[in-house]
Copies of this chain bind each other. A is one copy, B any other.
């Protein structure tokens, strides 16, 4: 069946399916929502902090991030957008986005028409539910990040981030035998985990020499997911993913 095959390859559908069972019709409707796609190069700005969000978007391929910059130039990346993640425009709710949104790698971005989205939500209960779930997950990830950056040591913090990314990518089928594309520089990684890139480097080295990961040529491979998770007290419940789809083995 075409829709089923589509659901498997489309990270947007795969992700939302963790939040609500979607009927074939709902899948088709969601696919229709992402018809308007464009490719965006790496390190491009999609949303500027002090301006209203133009419209919603879905990341279909590649990584992007939300970030804030202080007056002294320091940057904090508040959350990562991985394939399947949504950024909803808060239509008319505020003139101020509150954060920047930038691509990290080359991305395929779908623009979402607010009216069309509203119509889908009204018409399809599964879609409404899946979108509520999505925003629940986003908030939950933010709270975990706050805890992670605030309360864990640098090496655990990094390990925890890697575990989270592994789980999220696995949830959309982007992990191949523990390995996946890794577009983040060590500067980026420092801005996510609230450290300096120098210290990130030392922590990466630590995880490497512990035999937990391989990171080279923009590719990350998790060698021992279980030991990595145990080392940093990673418990994936906060991601609210459907069970069986976050475990190391499928």
Q: State the A residues within 8 Å of B (CB).
A: 19, 50, 66, 68, 70-72, 74-76, 78-79, 90, 93-94, 96, 98-99, 129, 132-133, 135-136, 138-140, 142-147, 149-152, 194, 233, 237-238, 240
Residue among A66, A74, A79, A90 with most chain B CB within 10 A: A90
Chain B CB within 10 Å, residue with most, of A90, A144, A147, A149: A147
Known A139-B139, A147-B76, A150-B194: A96·B132 in contact at CB below 8 Å: no
Q: A175 CA to B42 CA in the complex, in Å?
A: 46
Q: How far is the CA of A90 from the CA of B19 in the complex (A)?
A: 11
Query: Which 5 residue pairs are nearest across A and B when measured between Cβ atoms?
Result: A150-B194, A76-B147, A78-B143, A142-B142, A68-B147
Q: Which of A70, A136, A149, A151 has the most CB of B within 10 A?
A: A151
Question: Could you say which residues of chain B place their CB within 8 Å of the CB of A74?
Answer: 151
Number of copies: 2
Contact of A142 among B129, B143, B233 (CB under 8 A): B143
Which B-chain residue is minimally distant from A149 (CB atoms)?
B150
Chain B: minimal CB distance from A50 (Å): 7
Chain B residues in 8 Å Cβ range of A93: 19, 129, 132-133, 136, 240
